[in-house]
Amino acid sequence: MPRILDYTGREAVRSVTVADIVGLKGSGRQLAQVTASTPAEAAAAEAAGVEMVVCMSDFVPAVREGSQQVFLTAAIDFSGAVTEDDLLRDALCALTAGADAVITARGMNSVRRLAHEDIPVMGHLGFVPKKSTLYGGVRAVGRTATEATTLWRRFEELQEAGAFAVECELIPAEVMREIHARTGLATISLGSGPHADVLFLFTSDICGESERIPRHARAYADLAALHRQIDAERVRALTAFRADVASGGFPSAAELSTIDAAELAGFVALLDGGHQQI
């Protein structure tokens, strides 16, 4: 794995670098990306061989605690940044905390401002959840020739603004194939088919924790059932404890600390002697 110096100058080892991701174009090699917000999720991603993880910027320290190796991208649109200066501040904070890159769905001027500071920045095109009202709801973006052409122009603008990669969400697979073949951006597909440099799914969907698994995702486990089992077992245990408290069944002799009978007698004598002096 490549050795780098992180944004604070500390030596580190990463599964991949920005240069590696950009170099995927035409190589036939694909990487995997998942979400993480806890040390346990980050550690699991590393153990599974997943190269890339994305998280909200506030969770960067927790994710880095779990893995020092995964390539970590911080989403910086969700921490109250209003101005481009705010966005730049949040990006620098995320990088200082251990992120390798940032992702933003803000406009091209915001991307350009970050790239001007040599910050590795990803864009977000196709369906952007917080902009869903612009598309009339949750749906694939690029399903007509006109809409696909407009989308392609956004890819060109994003590359010109200085982004090195782009999350491509809910773009028709055939459209994504044509865009991927033509753009210089590293492409990260979330529900946009297999023609991309990186394939991305949410950990909650992969592990079967989501209430509803999106059409584009696949559940490889059923952690929701395990969580329900844990919740039920927790209630069962607490109920049994409460019943034992009511009946006098807790604590038992085995759960008590004891004192030698002679020591206890001496303690009581001291207490009683003290009362007599009073």
Active site residues: 169
> In this structure, are residues 70 and 34 in contact, taking their beta carbons and an 8 Å threshold?
no
Per the listing, tokens 């007698």 go with: 265
Per the listing, tokens 């303690």 go with: 267
Count CA atoms closer than 13 A to 94's CA, side-chain side.
33
Cα(55)–Cα(259) distance, rounded to whole angstroms? 54
* Tokens coding 207: 């592990």
* Tokens coding 142: 């690029």
Of 227, 203, 206, 199, the C-alpha closest to 55 is: 203
